[in-house]
Structure formats: structure tokens, C-alpha cells
Chain A
Amino acid sequence: MDTAERDLLEEALRKTMTAAATGASLDTALADLGWTQMLAEAPDTAVPLVFRLLGETGTQAAVLNDVVLRAAGRPVGGTLPLPYAGGTWVVWARDGATEASALDPLLPLRRVGTGEAVPLAAGRRALGWWLLGTGHAMLDLAREHVLERHQFGRPLASFQALRHRLAEAHVALEGAEAALGATDDDTGALLAKAAAGRAALTTARHCQQALGGIGFTAEHPLHRHVKRALVLDGLLGSTRELTREAGALLLRERRTRRLVDL
């Protein structure tokens, strides 16, 4: 896919996602845009694009199933049990949400008793891009707010304490993006998801603070992104678990892997 094709695709995807399509209807719309073929033929372009946009637009679709199924060498289009933090398992339903995640009612995640091990790297990378998009959605909301709202006769954006919080969020997101762009093995995917989860949670904390009371209401969109970040962080291993796993690997190998080179 060349740059022009990629840009066209991004535009089409964004349009579809912002046209309020979410859940099962977004799955259908993505299928119409050729998702299955994209995933088979150009996963390195399609996955970052689709998942990041899901985050940015605050929509959701069951496409994580396809990414994990494909990595497991199984036919796409179905569902499978996915590991969740704390040794639990969930299924991301495709049937129009019979049950939903308690925290984020728009995500059709339900707990299941158990599942079998599947390759996780591709799914972790995909979720990392989603978390990155969610982080950017929150940062954009906070940025708009601090530029518009005045207190003490000046824009909130002029207060250094808030500027530094938002700068912190930006740096975390940029670092996560670099880690996501550099991964091609299991360990790289693990670290990239940890970086993205951490960045999204850091961003959630700072943006929540910058938005003050309005950010605590259900009317303002921030809370949806905050909740999504929390739920996605736990999927296929939380930031905390992945970080610990990385540390355990260091202790086993007694040498730090250099995963990227010039």
C-alpha cells in the first residue's frame, strides 16, 4: 500500500467510524471496506490504522478477534477466549452485545471460565495502537478545554502546572508510538503494549485533572475514553503484568536485549 492509498483508506475508515457506526454495525462496515483482505495482505498498515482510529474516534469493533485468530492460523470472523489480567479469560462477543464489560458498557466483553493459550504478540500490538488512539483522544479533549476555559482572567492553558501535565502525557504517547512502530518480535510486542498502556493511563490521569469538574460528568466524553483505557489495559496482559514479565525475562537471561538497532 503506498502513502496515497493509505491516506485514502484512513479517510474512509475515519468517516465510517465517526458516522456513529460502532459495535456490530461497525464490524459490518469494516467488512465492506475490505477488512479481511487488508488484514491478510497488508497487516502492518491495516492494523495500526484501524486500531488507532478505534481509539481516536472512541468507537469499537470486534476486530481484535480477527488479529488473534489470524496469528493462531485459524479462520477469521469468529471469537475465542482471550487472556485478561489476573489469569482470567474473556470473550469479545460479535453477536451485538449480549453482555458487556461492567466498566465500559459499550465493550461486549464477558468473562468465561477458561481458554487455551494463543499467540499474543499481534493482538498486543493491535491493542497498543488502540490505547495510543484513546490517549490521543483524551489529550485532544484536554487541550481544547484548557485553551477555551478561563479562570483568574486567563486561559487554563497559561498555567504551567497544567502545561507540564499535558506535556507529560504527550511525551508518554510519543514514546509508546515509537515502541509500537519498532516491534517485530514477541518481546517487542510485550514492551510496546506495556508502554502504550502506561501512556494511556498517564494521559487519563493528567487529562482528567485538567478538565476539572466537567471531566467528571457523564455528559463530557472524557469518561468513555478513560474507561476504555482501563479495560483495554487489562486485555492480553496489563501494563503491570507485562512489565513484571519483562523483568522476569531480564532475570532469566542476565542480559538486556537490544530490540532495535540503527
Chain B
Amino acid sequence: MAESNASDADGPIIAMRHVHKWFGDFHVLKDINLEVGKGERVVVCGPSGSGKSTMIRCVNRLEEHQQGQIIVAGIELTADLKNVEAIRREVGMVFQQFNLFPHLTVLENLTLAPIWVRKMPKRDADELARLYLERVRIPEQADKYPGQLSGGQQQRVAIARSLCMKPEIMLFDEPTSALDPEMIKEVLDVMIELAEEGMTMVCVTHEMGFARTVADTMVFMDQGEIVERAPPAEFFANPKSERTRLFLSQILAH
């Protein structure tokens, strides 16, 4: 896509510098500094309420930051709606609760944004959508409604829906937390494939096996701060911070 000029730069595709955010008096994000390079896979973990969701939701401005600078795909996030919409076209997001549109069929869920945002002819959009359904291994569900699918299938549709916009970056906010255990793998498999194809990914998850497999960088957050940032081997083998060690011991215990 010619719309973004990030691909020709070697600089980070996401850059957060000294980002602060408050919910009322509550300081959720404290001086967040994070750079993600093109093709880099970042896995974010941390205890509940530490601000993980808030941080990645700032990347496509589902949440507004109040201080600092966020630059995504070469565009700075400001109150300017044009910039916000330009960034949202380049950033896909997958939610914990899937958030599929229940009044549209699976195929319509997938083609909606390409048709209305990318102005793609319907026939091309259909073709693209079927291609991605094939890739998330549910081509036969195209004409069903989301309510007729299992959780794992719905989440794969949600991933395909984001991919149909051909985003440069994919954000995942605990994509497997709402799933029954037997469905987690089918979603993670799709995500691993995506990582292998070189997609830039920022993923909030507690699936440490997945993190070990795909992550280039692990980020640990606690109380609104990035406490530790390291390659997975180092992160799991000898975490520097006491808080990280405590968290890992809890999460790896079961």
C-alpha cells in the first residue's frame, strides 16, 4: 500500500515515547517507552490491571493518551481524525471477546471494511475474504452467522476480518482468554502461522508456550509501567526484576 511511508524506513513501525495516561485520578500508564520494528513480534504480559490492554489500545487510539508521543507507521497520533483513521487502516486488532458483527454473515463481516474503507469492488472483496477464511481453515463457514460458530471459530473469523484490511501491524488483546481450553490451540496455530509470515505483532497474552515460540521480545508490565523488556530466552531464564520473577513463578506454576 502506498498510503504509508513506514515500509521504506528502517525505523520502528510503532514508537511510544514517554506516554502517560490517566483515568480520572488514576495513573494507568506511566512513562511508557516502547519501540516495535517492522516484522517484530512483541508479547506483553503482566498481572491483571497492570495496563496492558490500555497500552495496546493506545496504539490505534481506542484509548487516548494524554502525554507523550505515539507514532505508528510514520503517522503521529493526534486529535486529528484523519491521522487516526489512516492509522486504523494499517493496524488490525483482535479482541478477547471476538466482537464479530452478529447481524452480518461471516463473509459480510470480512468484506465490510475492504468495501467501505478500502473501496474495493464487492467481487474482489469476496474473493479476498474467501482466501483468508481458507487460511484460518474455515472456508465452509462463510455463509453462517457468527452466533452459529464455536468460540475458536469466531476468533479465527475475527483474525481473518482484520487481515482482510491487509494491515501492517496486528494487535492482539488476550485473544485466547475467552476460549475453552480445547479451542485455544486452533487459534494459536493461526497466530503462529501469521508470525512466520513476518507480520508485525503486538500480543497481550499469558500463553507462555506461544510466547516462547514466536516472540522476538517479551515485555512485562506492572502497575502501569514497563518493568522489563528482553528477548524470550533471557526473559524466561533470568529475569532481572524481582516483580517479573514473582509473576513468572505464579504463571508457570500451573
- A and B physically associate: no
Which B residues are within 8 Å of any A CB, using their own CB? none
Which A residues are within 8 Å of any B CB, using their own CB? none
